[in-house]
Structure 1
């Protein structure tokens, strides 16, 4: 069985629930589920207002277009931005353009509901002669260029808030409920479950015995299907093992998937070290999903300097 386990392990990949397959999932100001409910008084609402900038050195039409383009850029980064005036309780993005000689420097400042600057991003200088034209293509390119940087600022702000809260996953291990394995032939359900239960827990992720109060729920599903006939009378089967990881609100945080072709019916009885190898790698994948989804490894952004 060791020959098969060595071939199963490399065929492993993560399928996060968001961002079209990107493993690193910044979720600034998104909805982190139950954790957001615990920290409702301290965390930003699930949107970022982007009002038409009043200090943009642009006419009203171009300024409104800049706000619209930046909203679209941040939406592409999975930031729930809204081009609208600031309402009570909103975090918002203050877009400013300052003249420095014959250059204009755009600055993006993340503002708290109290009107305090919490983080900023400066764009490279743009010739004033070009900026003053309010060219739509220039504004669109600027917004697309700066949106990922602003998303990183928001991620750092969220990480700083997590760092301050003892109930966030930056300050305590994740509580994980493992529902087991279904669909495997032979002793696969039991063997995979036992191996995963041994491999998964570490200082950052702990198992608990019930789903109540869990931060994440993990459930694995195995599917076997007929493959090619193979050579010299050795038919093949396809095996797929998907380790689904659900957040506390029921949304899928991600899925760790293992795929391979095996000798037909070679796993109909004992899985042996195939289960150990598959579960060990899956444990690492599930830990990565939890880390990415929770943002617990994101670097906190320091406060803005005063004055």
Structure 2
């Protein structure tokens, strides 16, 4: 099975992910083009539709006129919907979560900031956008608004995912051990370039979307995942990248492994992993979920077959009637 990485000319990929111990897991090839830049709806799909809507009211502190602020709110809401976040450029309704946009000037640039509030007005967190050119922002150019909105929407989506994970962690069911499973991300070792960090970060994102609570520390975690990477020389000036995601439980017992094998041009992953880390972590997260689901299934007690009914005891043979002597 071969997949062509059209985003990296001349590179041919063949991802072969599978599970060791519990089952065999084969994944289809993935076209890497949708994952470049802003992955959009196909790649950044939330695991479950959120139980809220994001309201993007017209900003009042974004260094824009009223008309320009209204247009930017519309562009941002559209970009968020493209990232699978339910959003509307309207004043917040009683159950909406408002996303308040502000901006500050820094030299020849403008730095947007996005702060999320819950329906009761409590701040849930904030994220900084990337710098925008002061001239285009001040002239309220439509192209600049759309570029900034499209570029910053994934950061807002990531903020929402973090908020959801935090809310799940504080849920009474989770605290009682009946909620989402906590999984410790114990790191990735052996990868060239920025692979150790990129693989770990992307895996955390995908496990969050699958409903788990990834965390750095061991406290409260039921399971742990760590990865070992080996880069092995291969023929035709290629390199075989072998990834093993090892899943264990609190007592150290290994539950299973998700193994991925990928051939790349030699040295092509000595820098940024980018889309390769994204696709690898997406496939690995699905395999890890299967390992955890298998581990969580209660063992079935095989009941002993019911004993065969014993043959009915033969009816007692009646004693022969005693003959009475005739009366004399």
Q: TM-score range by the shorter chain?
A: 0.3 to 0.5
TM-score by length of 1: 0.45
TM-score by length of 2: 0.42
